[in-house]
A and B are shown apart, each in its own frame.
Chain A
Amino acid sequence: MVLAFLALAVIWEWAVEIFAIKEYLLPPPSLVLTEFLKRADVIGLNAITTTNEILAGYALAVAVSIPLALATAYSRTVEESLYPVVVFLQIVPKIAVAPLFIIWFGFGFAPKLMLVFLLSFFPIVVSSVMGFKSLDPDISDFARTTGAGGWRLFATIRLPQALPHIFTGLKVGAALSATAAVVAEFVASDRGLGYLLLQYNGDLNTPMVFATIIVLSLIGLALYYAVELLERLVIPWHVSQQAAQGGAALA
């Protein structure tokens, strides 16, 4: 993978040179790198802001969605009252809500956190509910003949069988969270990588636009792989099984 990226960078560099592409359209990677190094401190400071928004919003989404999924799976009342509302709200284009959040929560940290929360919340809750509810009826019948209930049944069967679904949701949520933070910063902010991106764009400083995008992608990737690493640690049996089934494409 690293080799592929290096090859791409080399081809990109040559192409820009050979076709004499103007650097405000497509800067060569070498220029992106030197410009980045010149302003690494600015990018670094703003990256911290955006990373904090992402982590806080994502953590909030996890903290709310998994208990909600549990409540939906185990309480008929919640399943019939609250969960349909959640499913309906999922259809609302959530990015369109961003300006509203500025009105409600001001210009600071809160609206960004809320948008990250909102975007990553739905995939986590929907797949976790699916995970908790998708128990094979015969396995469930077998479990009932043991007389197990409550915590023992949950810890022995329900939770481990839900974990692969929960991790699917967590990964989708993680992938969406960087997007959410940048969009929120686009709408109104005075810091963060989204803000920086608009500034550099206004100046036609394309090399720095590229540098910012790359840093932003790296933050998103880091979160995604952190979740994936956790998945490997928590449910190794599932990960190895997927790999055996031909998931080698991502390796």
Chain B
Amino acid sequence: MSRATVVASRARPAQDAAPGAGTQVPAIGVSSATKRFSRDGMETLALDGIDLTVARGEFVAIVGPSGCGKSTLLRMVAGLIPATSGSLAVSGQPVAGPVTDLGVVFQSPTLLDWRTIIDNVLVQVQLRGLPVERYRDKAMALLAQVGLEEFAQRRPRELSGGMRQRTAIARALIHDPPLLLMDEPFGALDALTREQMRIDLEALWLRSQKTVLFVTHSIDEAVLLADRVVVMTPRPGRIDRVVEVALPRPRGLDGRRLPGFAPAADAITEIFLARGVLHGTRA
């Protein structure tokens, strides 16, 4: 089995930027977290002994076959479902109940049909009890950033899937959270839109100091976006390997041509081949 190699140096050192970085509280800390679902007397062990630390400002992708517990892990980090055992912390605070200092993006845009696009972005601040009017300009600026300023007064039904997902991303950013949790955010998009969204997300992340936990099915997407790729085993989900991706940034449009891309992608493919998640012959 080939090992992932750390090729280039990090172009955007995040956690080791400040002096005394060693004492910095990680953005996410998961230790020995297990999740067991019981439904109709049927027990499912969804996650088994997850240990994961995500540094502040880091971009971590999670890949793994369907049903391996990626969404469950993300929801546990957000405090939306409790862990069966083990512990989780966000910004050093133990997770017990929904974590509010973050933004979430799911596979479906989960917009409110009855609100205009800008009001869908603003619902985030409204639900938080913040003064909506004071955020209107910022919402417009975010919509401009995701290329939707002309559509601010439209309703979700009038927009394409990609545009709706961009709205959801703007909604996740309006309150400027330090952490973004994204669960297959581009999963429902066509390949071209998806490519564009990936490039835009990287650019957006580079401009911010945010920590991102990003679930995807796509090996390419994970390697092109992440500092580290967490590869999971089929159910019960465990962390199989963490692959470091040390490509320079921005990886942008043709990140696949960077010399470090293929080794990292191959390393992940190898893991899936070894686990029987992927089958087939090689070129």
Contact = CB atoms under 8 A, between A and B. Distances in A.
Partners in one complex: yes
Interface stretch (B22-30, B102-110, B219-227): B102-110
Interface string A137-159: 01101111111100011001100
Contacts of B157: 241, 244
B110 A138 contact: yes
Q: Is the interface of B mostly helix, strand, loop or mixed?
A: loop
> Size band of the A side of the interface?
20 to 34
Contacts of B106: 138, 141-142
A138 to B, nearest CB: 5
B239 interface: no
Contacts of B124: 146
B78 A145 contact: yes
Nearest to A244: B157
Contacts of A39: none
Contacts of B108: 136, 138
B113 A136 contact: no
A238 B103 CA distance: 28
B128 interface: yes
Nearest to A153: B127
A148 B80 contact: no
Q: Is the interface of A mostly helix, strand, loop or mixed?
A: helix
A99 interface: no
A138 B112 CA distance: 11
Interface residues of B, number: 23
A70 B114 CA distance: 21
A153 B123 CA distance: 10
Given A138-B106, A145-B100, A156-B123, A238 B114 contact: yes
Given A148-B127, A152-B127, A142 B114 contact: no
B92 interface: no
B155 interface: yes
A162 B99 CA distance: 26
Nearest to A163: B114
A153 B98 CA distance: 15
Contacts of B112: 139, 157, 160-161
A95 to B, nearest CB: 37
A157 to B, nearest CB: 7
A147 B75 CA distance: 15
B31 interface: no
B126 interface: yes
A136 B100 contact: no
Contacts of A63: none
Contacts of A88: none
Contacts of B19: none
A17 B85 CA distance: 86
Given A138-B108, A141-B80, A241-B157, A146 B127 contact: yes
Contact of B80 (A145, A152, A160, A241): A145
Interface in B107-145: 108, 110, 112-114, 123-124, 126-129
Interface of A: 136, 138-139, 141-148, 152-153, 156-157, 160-161, 235, 237-238, 241, 244
Interface of B: 75, 78, 80, 98-100, 102-104, 106, 108, 110, 112-114, 123-124, 126-129, 155, 157
11 contacts: A138-B106, A141-B78, A144-B80, A146-B100, A146-B127, A148-B129, A156-B127, A161-B113, A237-B155, A238-B113, A238-B114
Give 6 closest A-B pairs by Cβ, nearest first: A146-B127, A148-B127, A147-B100, A144-B98, A138-B110, A237-B114
